[in-house]
A and B are shown apart, each in its own frame.
Chain A
Amino acid sequence: DAKTTQPPSMDCAEGRAANLPCNHSTISGNEYVYWYRQIHSQGPQYIIHGLKNNETNEMASLIITEDRKSSTLILPHATLRDTAVYYCIVRVDTGTASKLTFGTGTRLQVTL
């Protein structure tokens, strides 16, 4: 799976949009971009994933650049409960089990 690079930490004011970047310059054509988050002391939680097109669900939006070398997770209206470590993961959906490689992620602190 391709390697990802994320900033170690970010701050965001409550109610504002949180934009979390991820670089994956070695991504292959069949690799998906996944985002998970881990709130303190809890198990990771799936947020969203995509291949080429931008994706949106009830939690967030995922913007993938046209060359697919980077992506941005957008939390449109951050709340204090969004304070967590956010992991960007690139992997292939091959139809067989493979691991999710969690890096060190971005620690997002949402403040009042």
Chain B
Amino acid sequence: NAGVTQTPKFRVLKTGQSMTLLCAQDMNHEYMYWYRQDPGMGLRLIHYSVGEGTTAKGEVPDGYNVSRLKKQNFLLGLESAAPSQTSVYFCASSYIPGLSYEQYFGPGTRLTVT
């Protein structure tokens, strides 16, 4: 199993450009999450999904959109990138809570917006 993978690993954008970050998991997990991590801070939840075709807002959703068209994939979109979105983005997935709430994290995407 590859676990949770993220594409790309690094990206530099100019202000106003758009991009999509891809997260894929091969563990048949129902739940998937997008977090961002800024220097000196813990992770903050952007959006999450409780199953295929469903998404919900997390703690810091503004400026981001997500889609979960397939169970194994969770996409994070930035429609018009801003310097404040410079961060490291982590995707995670988990089994249905109640059975186990261990979240499995991907390696991260380092995004710089200039």
Contacts and interface: CB of A to CB of B under 8 A. Distances in A.
A43 B97 contact: no
Given A44-B43, A104-B41, A97 B105 contact: no
Size bracket of the B interface: 20 to 34
Contacts of B48: 97, 99
Contacts of A91: 101
B41 to A, nearest CB: 7
Nearest to B43: A102
A43 B50 contact: no
A15 interface: no
Nearest to A49: B101
B39 to A, nearest CB: 11
Interface string B74-114: 00000000000000001010001110011111111000000
A103 interface: yes
B107 A43 contact: yes
Given A87-B42, A96-B50, A46 B104 contact: yes
Interface string B24-56: 000000010101000011111100101000001
A94 B97 contact: yes
A43 B59 contact: no
B66 interface: no
B21 interface: no
